[in-house]
Amino acid sequence: MLKDIATPKRTKEILEKYGFTFKKSLGQNFLIDTNILNRIVDHAELTEETGVIEIGPGIGALTEQLAKRAKKVVAFEIDQRLLPILQDTLSPYPNVKVIHQDILKADVHEMIASEFPGIRDLMVVANLPYYVTTPILMKLLEDQIPVRGIVVMLQKEVADRIAAKPGTKDYGSLSIAIQYYTEAETVMVVPKTVFNPQPNVDSAVIRLTKRPQPSVQVQNEAFFFTVVRASFAQRRKTLLNNLTNNLSFGKEKKQEIEQTLHSVGLDPKRRGETLSIQEFAILSDALYKVK
């Protein structure tokens, strides 16, 4: 019987065998708890017909658990030093392919066409490097990668922001961007003690289920996100202040912005964090006529 990669002893053996040292710049923290890994995989609801995209497989701890349940796993790894280790640790799993590439530069659509032909059910499952969590999630969503959903471990603080509701301190432009494309929920909190090396922060696993259509329909998507970002530019400031100071036409059209806020029933003194995604959609469509 093969020993799981994700035990403190086996992880230590693998790292020593290859003389591997952690690179802080790559945010490398390897999971050493098989129970936690299995629970992450459970939340992805894989079947034998599911294809999985993994980002940052490390030494293959999560990859191994995914390979046991999915039809095929394709993992993107940026650190060249990990390639021989992965070739070794994942050798028992013929349904795994490791691609040495930065996911942010990869053509994921092309990869899916060549690696997952005929597979209809795709999931992203990963223990994401904390320093690039947001760019990776936004790329997967904005590029309209055809997946059923995304189950990822990330910094708890970022998970809180992603799943936040209007009127809370964690709610911001990231919450809206992710909830525009998906339904977001935090499914588990993970203590720092189950990693080698231990990170300074607690982690959480978040599940994003792709919506068939975005949660709101807007005239111009790019402009909608511009309005959202402008509204949160300085959290303590009012909507009117933030929009005037942060939209390209804000200063010269302050009066029109104020009139627009009134016309859609929004008090100019409200703060961005109190608006629902629906209110932002109405506001951005109205401001689109003003700009």
pLDDT tens digits, residue range 98-109? 999 999 999 999
All domains of the chain, ordered by start, with CATH?
A: 8-210 (3.40.50.150), 221-288 (1.10.8.100)
Residues 248-285 pLDDT 10s: 999 999 999 999 999 999 999 999 999 999 999 999 99
User: What tokens were used for 121?
Assistant: 């059910």
Can you tell me the distance from the alpha carbon of 63 to that of 76, in angstroms, rounded to the nearest whole number?
A: 11
Q: Which of 109, 132, 149 is nearest to 55 (CA)?
A: 132
pLDDT computed for residue 257 by the predictor: 97
Which residues of the chain carry a pLDDT beneath 50?
none
Residue 31 annotated as lining a ligand binding site: yes
Q: Taking the model in full, what pTM does it have? A: 0.93
221 annotated to a ligand binding site: no
| 197 prior amide bond cis, ω within 30 | yes
Q: Which residues share a beta bridge with 188?
A: 205
What are 235's strand-pairing partners? none
pLDDT of amino acid 155: 93
What are the φ and ψ backbone dihedral angles of 58, each rounded to 5 degrees?
65, -120
Contact, 151 vs 127, CB < 8 A?
Answer: no
Q: Is 247 annotated as a binding residue?
A: no
Where does residue 24 rank: exposed (0-12), middle (13-18), buried (19+ CB within 10 A)?
A: exposed
Residue 95 is labelled as binding a ligand? no
Q: Which residue has the tokens 């790019």?
A: 222
